[in-house]
Amino acid sequence: MRPTFAATVRAHLGSSSRLTLALILLGSLALVGIFAEIVAAPAPLLAIGGGRVQVFPGVTAPASYAALTPVEVRARHQGDLTIWPLVRYGPLSPTDEGPLAPASLEHPLGTDAHGRDLAARLIYGARTALGLSLGAVLLGIVLGGAMGGLAGIYRGFWNDRLSRLVETVDTFPTIIVVALVRAIERQPSALSLVIAVAAVRWAEVARLIRAEVLHADSEEYVTAARALGAHPIRIFFRHVLPNATGPVLVSSVFGVASVVLLEAAITFLGMGAPARVASWGETLAEGAADPGHLRLILLPGFLLLATVGGSYLLADAMRDAIDPRAARLRATRAKGGEG
């Protein structure tokens, strides 16, 4: 049996500068998105006073802070021992400075076109971008894995129907599918956008899984398992799927980058998630409407560049781990070019 993807990674990944840089970029963005309430929130992280201890009151009781202004929030905790987040505003918190205010101690990056704290919008935008892309990619893996596995295992009817279905799906650009969802659902939710994107991206995973099943069919370990009477489903899950994990994961990492760009693009065009959901694409649209404030373009643009660049570096390192011979060949060609 061929070594699995996990074993190959442990054997060949080692220490890679590309991998390190990718993990720093993507890890930082993921941590900021996951723990956004700790970095930017209108409520304190900890409040002790009045005979009670409140831990993350803005998370445990968000409704009680939603309609309060920053002055009212501070008045509520006047006299308490408090620990505040780095940015004392949430993505929807009103401010007193008004739209497009410059950077200040109160607002490190200024405010956006609606008078909301720009730093908070960008921080919560990381959660939107990565959350939506991961959801769409994972759902695409499930759908594509099931369809590709059926086509590769049972051939015939399933293989023909999958080929026709993949060709049909490929004729529809993802942004067109999202536009159709927007036309049907006037105010699309994040879930509907995830489903719309996954409904197109599953085809790529299905092709990879089907190709891996067909390739493995001629391998000795699959032939031996079939000779021992193993059921095709068991052969797929026990022998084929572990070896298909590598290519699928590499494709999925590339998919995360493309979905992040897609989410920013559809939000830029006004077809994205509701306005209450922070998005880098919305900030880019505000900057395009008022080119005089370059920070509204440069800051989300840099975050998109970091996300896409980190994803491609990670996928490239994973691809070298799966096929170290190709990596050595590229290194040899690079040395030859330098010579």
pLDDT in tens, 100-141: 899 998 899 999 988 999 999 999 999 999 998 999 999 988
Tell me the per-residue pLDDT of 47-92, one tens digit each, with 9 for 90 and over.
898 888 888 888 887 777 777 777 888 888 888 899 999 998 888 8
276 and 154, same domain (yes or no)? yes
On whether residue 150 sits in a domain, the answer given is: yes
Tokens, residue 43: 């409520």
Return the sign of the alpha-carbon dihedral for residues 137, 139, 145, 147.
negative
Asked if residue 330 is part of any domain, the answer here is: yes
The answer as to whether 104 is a domain residue is: no
Same domain, 29 and 73: no
The pTM for the full model equals: 0.83
Domain count, the chain: 2
The parent domain of residue 62 ranges over 42-84
